[in-house]
Each structure stands twice: as structure tokens, then as C-alpha cells.
Amino acid sequence: MPELPEVEVTRLSFADAIRGAIIEHVRLGKPLRWALGVDPRILYGQQVLEVRRRGKYLLLDLTDGLLLMHLGMSGSLAFRAELPLAGTHDHFDLITSQGGLRLHDPRRFGAVVFCLGEDDPRARKLLGGLGAEPLGDEFRVPDFHRALQGRRAPVKQVLLAGDVVVGVGNIYASEALYKAGIRPTVAAHRLGRVRVQRLHRAIREVLAAAVATGGSTLRNFSNVHGEAGHYQQQAMVYGRAGQPCYQCGSAVKTIRQGQRSTFFCPRCQRL
């Protein structure tokens, strides 16, 4: 599943190109996870004002409403001056005066939803429970510490839940916990302020590095130009089970947490 860095990389790769464009046509393919919610013709003639991100959602601000886009498990976007003929897994085309934006999604867990604004009930349902943006100013150590103090679940599971801090998916949670020297199984409420500060800093540094390297391409992620990400090539523990830790030489271990694989170093992450 594309995580926050991949979604941000996607946003950066087409936001400038589509800003100011006028929507001329919309093509719908097979049904996605959630319906668009309006007659596509309502979008015709509207201008794309800005492209923002909230967690793993892309928000296309229009002159009268907004489009919420989610890439689901295997979705990707392409932006071209002229889109080629739609294929079997191309389920949404937004044709504008400056090019076409296409959602390609083999598993159809992605979605494009029209909302009147962020106060629209559909937008509140999707965005209302999201935690702080980890790369934004609202992600503050005191708030993070306070939230973790109220959670008895393992810290990695709290990070993945997304209601304390949003978008720290499986890859980057493992990497941030390693960087902070924290065992992924430790209960969140047991983390003192010093360790929370280390984790806060590690989350921001790991996500920023991932964005800078184009995200992670483990299977099929690419930006709108078809370019793969390279962060996985510098991962310290993720996907390295049985291999030596770069810091201490101990074998990296993997366990299952909430149906997801967790990677950690038993020596560098003792507590």
C-alpha cells in the first residue's frame, strides 16, 4: 500500500502541472471502493485550484468543492498531456485543459470522492479521525507524549492506527522505531518523554528522507511520471530479516503484529 511518503511524492509530481487547469471531461471505469457521489458533469468547467495532502488522501481543491483521492492498496496516478487509451485497470480519468490525470488500480481499493468541502459529511467521515501530520508544525512532542500515555497497545500498533499521528505506515514505523532505539512491542504508555522525543524526531527524519528519495517501491509504486522510489535501498531493518544490523551486527528479526510484518534489531532496540 502506498504510504504517506509515496502519496506526497505523487502529489509533488503533478501538483504544479495541474494547478489552474479547467476540467473538460471525466471518464469513469469500473466501480472503485467508494463512488464519486455526483454526476461527473458537475465537475465540467471547474478549475483545479490546488493539490493538497491529508494523511494518505490527496485533496484537489476546485472552484466549487473538492475531490478526495485515495490510492488504496495498489493504485497509482499518471498525468500526461494526452492519456493513451484506457486499459482494464484504468478506472478514473480527469481530463483538463492542461493534461489528463488517470487512476490506475488493479485491485480497485482506491477511490475518488467529490465533496462540497472539508465540512461535507463524506469528507468528515474520511478525514475526521486522522491524527497530526508528522511533517507539519502541529506534530508536537508534548501532544505526542500525552497521546501515547493513554495507549496500552504496542507502540508500533499505535503508530499504524493513524489517530495519534497520521501516515506512519508499516515500512516507516519499523524504520523510525529502529532509529529511535525502541522495541516495537513495548506498550506506548511506557515511553517516557526522552524516548518520545527520540521517536518524534525519528518519524520526521525517516519520512522526510523517504520523500526526498521518491518513496519506496516494493511492488508497483511509481509517481505520475512512472518513476520508482528508492528509499527501500537505504532501509535499516525493513525487509532485512536474518541479515546483520548495520550498527551492531546482530541478525535483524521479524515478528507479526496485527497481520503485518515488523522488523527490528534485538540488540539496538532492547527496550
**Catalytic residue positions, numbered:** 2-3, 56, 260
Q: How far apart are CA 93 and CA 95, in angstroms?
A: 6
Q: How far apart are CA 101 and CA 22, in angstroms?
A: 12
DSSP string, 222-269: --TTSPPP-GGGG-SSTT-TTSBPTTT-PBPEEEEETTEEEEE-TTTT
Spatial contact of 13 and 225, defined as CB atoms under 8 Å apart: yes
Q: How far apart are CA 86 and CA 157, in angstroms?
A: 39
Q: How far apart are CA 188 and CA 263, in angstroms?
A: 17
Residue 225 CB neighbour total at 10 angstroms: 11
212: Cβ–Cβ under 8 A, 6 or more apart, which residues? none
Look up cell 522526510; give the residue: 208
Q: How far apart are CA 31 and CA 25, in angstroms?
A: 18
Can you read off the three cell numbers belonging to residue 79? 498525468
Spatial contact of 129 and 194, defined as CB atoms under 8 Å apart: no
